């Protein structure tokens, strides 16, 4: 489909910039679509760390990855993504994906929250290796999501001053604010 939805665009673009054998993080595993995507992209020598605060999401993501025969590449953590820095070394990760909000059809109380998301983004930025990429899908179509999406966009834009390249992709002319995708690349020469 042209133009693609942000979720589809994220997979299409990221697929080409993830090398085999790297370490990747899915900060919001949910039903495991992104975890499975990352597990396929990193190849048999790569590794994926996947986080979610809902046991049901971890179970769902684990089942999806197992059905694809990729289980041995993924380490699941039933935990808040703010703790991701306890599971990887600084500057060791090639890509971190966030898909904010709540699971489709799920309890909206288990949505991502602005303070935890901003804290987890800071952790992700320090875990990324130079040249690594941060991918964040934002959903401003509901009031809380709009606040979170604006805060995240402002936060990532702030990285530009430290040499990061930050892009935003979204569909125009929708009835409600459309989901948008933020892609941030850490500078190749950086300690940020």
- Report if residue 34 touches ligand SAM, rule: CB under 6 A: yes
Give just the sign of the alpha carbon dihedral 36, 38, 39, 41: positive
Vertex 121 angle, CA 119 and 123, to 5°: 75
- Report if residue 135 touches ligand SAM, rule: CB under 6 A: no
Q: How many residues of this chain bind ligand SAM (CB under 6 A)?
A: 21
Q: Which strands, in side-by-side order, build the sheet including 128-138?
A: 74-78, 47-52, 23-26, 93-99, 128-138, 180-185, 165-170
- Report if residue 151 touches ligand SAM, rule: CB under 6 A: no
Query: CB-wise, 62 or 110, nearer to ligand SAM?
Result: 110
Please report how close the Cβ of residue 112 comes to ligand SAM at its closest, in angstroms.
4
- Report if residue 53 touches ligand SAM, rule: CB under 6 A: yes
- Report if residue 32 touches ligand SAM, rule: CB under 6 A: yes
x/- contact string, 56-95, with ligand SAM (CB under 6 A)? -x----------------------xx--------------
Q: Where are the beta strands (DSSP E) in 15-92?
A: 23-26, 47-52, 74-78
Among 112, 133, 149, 159, binds ligand SAM (CB under 6 A): 112
Among 11, 39, 54, 145, binds ligand SAM (CB under 6 A): 54
How would you label 118-137 residue by residue, b for 16+ Cβ within 10 Å and e otherwise?
ebbbebbbebbbeebbbbbb
- Report if residue 103 touches ligand SAM, rule: CB under 6 A: yes
- Report if residue 118 touches ligand SAM, rule: CB under 6 A: no
With a CB cutoff of 8 Å and minimum separation 6, the contacts of 175 are none
Structure tokens given for 31: 């039903």
Instruction: Round to the nearest angstrom and report the end-to-end CA distance of the chain.
Output: 37
Q: Which residues bind ligand SAM (CB under 6 A)?
A: 28, 30-34, 51-54, 57, 80-81, 99, 101-103, 110-112, 116
């Amino acid at each position: 489909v042209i133009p693609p939805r942000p979720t589809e665009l994220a997979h299409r673009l990221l697929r080409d910039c993830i090398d085999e054998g790297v370490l990747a993080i899915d900060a919001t595993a949910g039903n495991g679509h992104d975890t499975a995507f990352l597990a396929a992209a990193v190849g048999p020598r790569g590794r994926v760390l996947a986080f979610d605060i809902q046991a049901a999401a971890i179970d769902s993501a684990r089942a999806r990855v197992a059905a694809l025969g990729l289980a041995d590449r993924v380490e699941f953590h039933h935990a808040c993504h703010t703790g991701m820095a306890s599971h990887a070394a600084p500057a060791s990760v090639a890509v971190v994906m966030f898909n904010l909000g709540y699971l489709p059809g799920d309890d909206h109380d288990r949505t991502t929250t602005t303070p935890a998301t901003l804290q987890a983004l800071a952790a992700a930025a320090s875990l990324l290796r130079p040249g690594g990429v941060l991918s964040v899908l934002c959903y401003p179509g509901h009031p809380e999501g709009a606040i979170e999406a604006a805060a995240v966009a402002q936060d990532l834009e702030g990285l530009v001053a430290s040499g990061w390249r930050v892009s935003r992709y979204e569909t125009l002319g929708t009835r409600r604010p459309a989901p948008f995708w933020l892609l941030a690349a850490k500078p190749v020469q950086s300690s940020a």
